[in-house]
Amino acid sequence: MSSQSDPRDWKNANKQNTARLAKWTFAWVITMAIANFGPIYLWQQQAITALAIGINFIIGIGMIMANRRQLLGLDELQQKIQLHAMGLSLGVGLIVGLSYSNLDTTNLISGHAEISHLVIIMSLSYLFGIILGHRKYQ
């Protein structure tokens, strides 16, 4: 029996991939917070801010690679669910984001369009897509 056909090996690999992705995601969130709040509370030098943003960018690339590895380690059904949820999130993000931006640029809303609002919408639509996918294939 090959190592890939043993369910315990697949389960352990999946756990490791998920833990690796969680670590990269945590590191990315922390470096994002440092890059955003560091110039306000810790330093005023633009060079340090640029360095913090660069580190965040590099950690983000690592997170993308960990996400890819985690997705490739999933079974075909889980990959399909993830793909559909990501497609939903991308579509919703694109349509809502551009509409939101248009509302801002045409002054139809009083506040400014903030990227954080778009991230929240995309995260919620991704979560909704995952839930729908799991329900569909139960």
SS3 content of the chain, % helix, strand, coil (to 5): 85, 0, 15
Please name the residue that has the structure tokens 């697949």. Answer: 10
Greater model confidence, 138 or 27: 27
Q: For the segment 72-114, what is each residue's pLDDT rounded down to a tens digit? A: 999 999 999 999 999 999 999 999 999 999 999 999 999 899 9
Query: pLDDT-based confidence at 5, cuts 50/70/90?
Result: low
Q: For the segment 25-38, what is each residue's pLDDT rounded down to a tens digit? A: 999 999 999 999 99
pLDDT at position 11 is 87
| Residue 115: φ, ψ to 5° | -60, -30
Query: pLDDT-based confidence at 4, cuts 50/70/90?
Result: low
Q: Rounded to two decimals, what is the model's pTM?
A: 0.80
Query: pLDDT-based confidence at 41, cuts 50/70/90?
Result: very high
What CA–CA distances, in Å, run from 98 to 71, 84, 89, 107, 109?
Answer: 28, 21, 14, 14, 14
What are the structure tokens assigned to 15, written together?
Answer: 């756990």
Report whether pLDDT(2) > 70: no
Report whether pLDDT(3) > 80: no
